Amino acid sequence: MTTIFDERQCKLGEGPLWHPERQQLFWFDVLNKKLMSRENGTAKSWEFDEYVSAAGWVSKTELLIASASKLFLFNLDTKTSMKLCDMEADNRVTRSNDGRADPKGGFWIGTMGIEAEAGAGSIYRFYKGELRKLFSGITITNAICFAPDGNKAYFSDTDTQNIQQLMLDDQGWPTGTPKLFVDLTGDNLNPDGAVVDSEGYLWNAQWGANRVARYSPEGQFVEEISFPAKQISCPAFGGAELQTLFATSAAVDLSGVDEGKTFFAQTGTRGQLEHRIIL
């Protein structure tokens, strides 16, 4: 059974992050340029001057946040920001989209065209102060997540309706070329954000399908959790036992009462702790 976690309707809810030290969920309303949360039952938000879409945790008070033009450190207590590096700052066509910290302390972040321009996006990794481009020519970057053994990464170009798997070296850098993990073209499904649980199963939000679907480490469909919002955008595990699956959604182009809200469902599966970013 799914339950509403936050009633606020996001135009484009994205990037849920369970902060393990704060025991608190953060997420974004990308198109309204907001970071959102709930603390002790109270709704909170922080507004920025450009699109923000994804984050990782650095300390109890600091998040690394990806915006349209940079990666920056944001202090939740003082509400102050410090730029870490530019990211496509000279490209007015793109913004950040999906991202997640990896098991080695790096942060992967994808970009995309603001109007989903074909092939405008890339995927980067920020690791120990260096931002390096990994892939380019992507239309809608999504599904960035990591196997618990730290040896595999996943990502998607939603436009292709495929999820790719990639091997990693002992420093967390890609080795070889991506290979097909899940092909959703036959079912006409659109992969959005994803997370991997502690057993190595991938949970993928599927835009337009009201669901998060679970796939085995071999890429086989196992089960789904259905939600009342059509455009489910990204899942995250959290809660005291990491068995609560949170999911963001988007109200853009829709008028339903539940569209854009943030949900949760209890599962019998334990997620992974979100990895800490090492600056």
Catalytic site residues? Answer: 192
Per DSSP (E only), the strands in 184-276 are 190-196, 202-207, 211-215, 221-226, 232-238, 244-249, 262-266
32 phi-psi bin (left φ>0, alpha ψ -120 to 50, beta other): alpha
Tokens of 160: 């292709």
Collect all residues with Cβ–Cβ distance below 8 Å to 94 and sequence separation of at least 6.
68, 88, 111, 112, 113, 114, 120, 121
Neighbours of 186 (CB within 10 A): 7
In the chain, the N- to C-terminal Cα span, in Å, equals 39
DSSP SS3 for 4:
strand
Q: Is the dihedral of CA 12, 200, 145, 72 positive or negative?
A: positive
DSSP secondary structure code for residue 113 in this structure: E
Range list of H helices, 123-257: none
